[in-house]
């Protein structure tokens, strides 16, 4: 089964031929990403970005080989996350983090709840796994309800047309995360606006470090006005009247690793991380999956006839079109050699998950969609190792539930009119819109 890359809108960047042409970060680079990866694998699997380290005089390096990225994320001692530098800054300061300017509740809670690798693991196992990790299967019914409501809004349309992103792929994870956390559905629009502010660095941030200018940073904090207070009010209300939701549970749970309950600001920080990570990302997986179905004759029918194949399809789609393409989140704590290239201590590593996921040394026919590929979950779309995405569990259930529902309610989908396949700016892989034509099931 082969999937062709959709015809992308024109990019201001020319199609890369040599490594000198490769540019993963300028505006429009999104349209050239998958043309750049084979060049990186062949000619520059470790590509230096001069002067683009975290501190003056250091460099950034793009890693595109699966084995290098997998090794880095599995070894937090040799390759500490950049966030640990921020936590070190808190440690060295006389001002408590909650009183520092431009420090959000998530950073504050990271400092008190998970400053070490051991506590990081405990935080995941004790505080997030039961809700968005392996325990997320408890949400299947709720996700089904939201999915059905969204489909009901367009399934009887005489035109049989749907803009799949705004009418399904985006609102589904937004509604799901509001339900998980225990926020009213009427607040989803407002939550989504705050979520959009949170992810701004990954959309309009400059270069591989996703940097906002000082003005953009100020704007971002302005846009986030009210979020902390909104969550604080919810925490207060749920302490008084608990319900069956994640915030109520966090208000009461004993964090065994520290032998105590959580404070309001710590809960606020966990909620910040859930909104940042959970509101948008799954949208990109769903939307690229829809595209792969449109491009692969017979795939819709195959999945409809045998639902056990949905899981492999979702995983393989995330491998082939990784939602988060890359992040610069690790540093070298000593001199390292990757693929024969020396990378000095103190360098910033850009882990290019998407490139590792199509590395020909790891994957047979890497650009082919093979929904029966062996051990496909070893892909890097959620990263791996101790800091693997804590929301992978709920994202997977959202994707699988969504496709089960769409396969129930539809006979097929194909590309509709007016698609340019232009991608949104930034580091996430997603088109700005996706018009589909559907056939309703009888």
Identify the three-state secondary structure at position 394.
helix
- Please say which residue, 13 or 113, places its beta carbon nearer to ligand HEM: 113
φ/ψ bin of 160: left (φ > 0), alpha (ψ from -120 to 50), beta (otherwise): left
Q: Angle formed by the axes of helices 188-198 and 171-181, to 10°?
A: 100
- Please say which residue, 383 or 400, places its beta carbon nearer to ligand HEM: 383
For the bound state, the minimum distance from the C-beta of residue 400 to ligand HEM, rounded and expressed in Å, comes to: 12
The residue with its CB nearest to ligand HEM is 391
- Please say which residue, 268 or 281, places its beta carbon nearer to ligand HEM: 281
Cα–Cα distance measured from residue 166 to residue 178, given in angstroms and rounded to the nearest whole number: 17
- In angstroms and rounded to an integer, the radius of gyration of the C-alpha atoms of the chain is 22
Cα 122 to Cα 8, 112, 119, 245, distances in angstroms: 43, 13, 5, 20
Sequence-ordered list of residues with C-beta below 8 angstroms from that of 121, at least 6 positions apart, any chain = 386
For the bound state, the minimum distance from the C-beta of residue 65 to ligand HEM, rounded and expressed in Å, comes to: 16
For the bound state, the minimum distance from the C-beta of residue 76 to ligand HEM, rounded and expressed in Å, comes to: 9
Cα–Cα distance measured from residue 246 to residue 289, given in angstroms and rounded to the nearest whole number: 29
For the bound state, the minimum distance from the C-beta of residue 278 to ligand HEM, rounded and expressed in Å, comes to: 3
Q: Which two tokens stand for residue 30?
A: 């999104």
Residue 372 contacts residue 343 (beta carbons within 8 Å): no
Cα–Cα distance measured from residue 424 to residue 433, given in angstroms and rounded to the nearest whole number: 9
For 442, other C-beta atoms within 10 Å of its C-beta total: 4
For the bound state, the minimum distance from the C-beta of residue 351 to ligand HEM, rounded and expressed in Å, comes to: 7
For the bound state, the minimum distance from the C-beta of residue 20 to ligand HEM, rounded and expressed in Å, comes to: 28
Q: Which regions of 143-252 does DSSP assign to beta strands (E)?
A: 161-163
- Please say which residue, 49 or 389, places its beta carbon nearer to ligand HEM: 389
Q: Which two tokens stand for residue 405?
A: 């529902």
For the bound state, the minimum distance from the C-beta of residue 298 to ligand HEM, rounded and expressed in Å, comes to: 25
- Please say which residue, 121 or 440, places its beta carbon nearer to ligand HEM: 121
- Please say which residue, 205 or 391, places its beta carbon nearer to ligand HEM: 391
- Please say which residue, 29 or 106, places its beta carbon nearer to ligand HEM: 106
For the bound state, the minimum distance from the C-beta of residue 272 to ligand HEM, rounded and expressed in Å, comes to: 9
Owner of token pair 């491998």: 319
- Please say which residue, 16 or 350, places its beta carbon nearer to ligand HEM: 350
Cα–Cα distance measured from residue 427 to residue 29, given in angstroms and rounded to the nearest whole number: 10
Task: Tell how far CA 135 is from the center of its chain.
Answer: 19
Cα–Cα distance measured from residue 104 to residue 228, given in angstroms and rounded to the nearest whole number: 9
Q: Which two tokens stand for residue 134?
A: 């392996």
For the bound state, the minimum distance from the C-beta of residue 358 to ligand HEM, rounded and expressed in Å, comes to: 15
For the bound state, the minimum distance from the C-beta of residue 139 to ligand HEM, rounded and expressed in Å, comes to: 11
DSSP 8-state symbol, 426 = S
Residue 440 contacts residue 160 (beta carbons within 8 Å): yes
Residue 307 contacts residue 404 (beta carbons within 8 Å): yes
For the bound state, the minimum distance from the C-beta of residue 116 to ligand HEM, rounded and expressed in Å, comes to: 13
- Please say which residue, 104 or 329, places its beta carbon nearer to ligand HEM: 329
- Please say which residue, 323 or 416, places its beta carbon nearer to ligand HEM: 323
Q: Residues interacting with ligand HEM, by CB under 6 A?
A: 73, 132, 273-274, 277-278, 281-282, 285, 323-324, 327, 329, 353, 381-383, 387, 389-391, 394-395
Phi then psi for residue 370, to 5 deg, are: -125, 100
Sequence-ordered list of residues with C-beta below 8 angstroms from that of 398, at least 6 positions apart, any chain = 143, 172, 173, 176, 282, 286
For 292, other C-beta atoms within 10 Å of its C-beta total: 20
- Please say which residue, 45 or 76, places its beta carbon nearer to ligand HEM: 76
């Amino acid at each position: 089964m082969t999937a062709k890359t959709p015809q992308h809108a024109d990019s201001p960047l020319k199609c890369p031929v040599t490594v000198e042409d490769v540019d993963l970060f300028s505006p429009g680079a999104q349209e050239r990403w998958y043309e750049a990866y084979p060049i990186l694998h062949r000619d520059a699997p470790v590509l230096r970005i001069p002067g683009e380290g975290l501190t003056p005089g250091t460099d950034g390096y793009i890693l595109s080989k699966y084995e290098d990225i997998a090794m880095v994320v599995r070894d937090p001692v040799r390759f500490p996350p950049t966030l640990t530098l921020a936590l070190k800054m808190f440690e060295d300061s006389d001002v408590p983090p909650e009183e520092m300017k431009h420090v959000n509740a998530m950073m504050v809670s990271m400092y008190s709840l998970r400053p070490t690798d051991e506590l990081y693991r405990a935080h995941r196992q004790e505080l997030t796994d039961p809700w968005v990790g392996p325990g997320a299967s408890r949400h299947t019914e709720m996700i089904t309800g939201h999915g059905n409501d969204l489909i009901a809004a367009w399934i009887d349309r005489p035109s049989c047309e749907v803009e799949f992103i705004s009418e399904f792929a985006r609102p589904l994870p937004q509604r799901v995360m509001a339900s998980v956390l225990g926020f009213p559905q009427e607040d989803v629009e407002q939550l989504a606006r705050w979520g959009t502010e949170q992810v701004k660095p990954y959309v309009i941030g400059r270069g591989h470090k996703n940097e906002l200018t000082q003005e953009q940073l100020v704007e971002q904090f302005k846009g986030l006005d009210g979020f902390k207070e909104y969550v604080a009010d919810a925490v207060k209300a749920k302490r008084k009247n608990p319900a069956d939701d994640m915030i109520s549970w966090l208000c009461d749970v004993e964090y065994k690793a520290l032998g105590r309950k959580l404070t309001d600001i710590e809960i606020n920080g966990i909620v910040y991380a859930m909104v940042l990570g959970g509101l948008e990302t799954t949208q990109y997986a769903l939307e690229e999956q829809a595209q792969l179905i449109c491009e692969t004759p017979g795939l819709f029918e195959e999945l409809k006839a045998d639902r056990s194949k949905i899981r492999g399809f979702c995983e393989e789609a995330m491998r082939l079109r990784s939602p988060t393409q890359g992040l610069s989140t690790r540093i070298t704590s000593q001199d390292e050699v990757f693929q024969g290239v020396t990378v000095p201590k103190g360098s910033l590593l850009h882990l290019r998950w998407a490139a590792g996921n199509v590395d020909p040394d790891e994957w047979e026919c890497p650009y082919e969609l093979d929904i029966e590929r062996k051990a496909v979950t070893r892909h890097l779309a959620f990263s791996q190792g101790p800091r693997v995405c804590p929301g992978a569990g709920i994202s997977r259930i959202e994707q699988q539930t969504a496709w089960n529902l769409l396969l129930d309610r539809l006979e097929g989908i194909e590309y509709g009119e007016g698609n340019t396949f232009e991608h949104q700016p930034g580091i996430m892989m997603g088109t700005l819109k996706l018009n589909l034509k559907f056939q309703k099931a009888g």
